[in-house]
Amino acid sequence: MDTRFAARHSGDSRFWAALWIYILLIVLLGFREPVTERFFDDFQEPASVALQLHVWSFAAWLVLLAMQAGLAATGRMDWHRKFGLAMLPLAALMVLSAGVAEFAAQQREVANGNSGAFSAFTIFYLVPFAVLVPLAWRARTNPPAHKRLILMATATICAGAHLRTVSSFDPTLFWASDNYFTHLFIGFGGSMLIIAIGMAWDLYSRGALHPVYRVGAPILFTIYAVAAWVYGTESYGEATKAFLGGG
């Protein structure tokens, strides 16, 4: 283990706390309106069981991150390890519930005459998350790698919140655009920004990038680039429409 990353920097606690607050704000801004409508208002399509499970499990993930960061910062590693046992089952619930809820949502899109192509984004949000969390679990005895893998996993599933936040100012910016870079940077820009902030902190505080970033970031950014391309292809839109029962 590289001692540059194993040793704590004096600003680590403040950095990780600030980054968690930023993630929380993006999630609240992005999902406040849809959650309020589906859960608390007289909405035409109340939240399904799968959607409810996804919302509450996602919220639990953010709470768990805050608790784990606080416990690690205060040296309570015994409790950190105990609460960490919830990581894998919680992540599994998040992926399963999100997949079921998104499938139902795209079926409604197809029934309304749309293509269901947005599933490309959901797939490329969930699959990296489903891979990164077990990798983080395996790396739990290597704290520097563990927390960076958790950061990358969390960044990936925050992409949707960033997209909704941007779209709340101008819905046509993303949904009415056929521009590849618009799809890439609005659809995945939130994830890339969070990861880039983590990388910048490494460079500032350690003078180098941790191997998790050196290997993982290019892979993730390539996945995002492919997802944005897939989303814009007519063939994928037609294929999803047929698969979901609309053609």
Give the separation between CA 86 and CA 136, rounded to whole angstroms: 13
**Contact at 8 Å (CB) between 189 and 158?**
no
**Rounded (10°) CA dihedral 62, 67, 25, 151:** -70
Q: What is the pLDDT of residues 44-94, one digit of tens each?
A: 566 778 888 888 898 899 898 888 888 877 778 888 888 888 889 999 999
8 three-class SS: coil
pLDDT at res. 210: 96
Give pairs for 133-141: CB < 8 Å, separation 24+: 133/87, 133/88, 133/91, 134/88, 136/87, 137/87, 137/88, 140/81, 140/84
Spatial distance between the Cα atoms of 40 and 43, rounded to a whole number of angstroms: 8
pTM (2 d.p.)? 0.88
Q: What is the mean pLDDT of the chain?
A: 85
- pLDDT tens string 179-208: 999 999 999 999 999 999 999 999 999 999
Model confidence at 9: pLDDT above 80? no
Domain ranges of the chain: 3-243
Q: What is the pLDDT of residues 25-45, one digit of tens each?
A: 888 888 777 666 656 655 556
Closest CA to 151 of 222, 75, 61, 244: 61
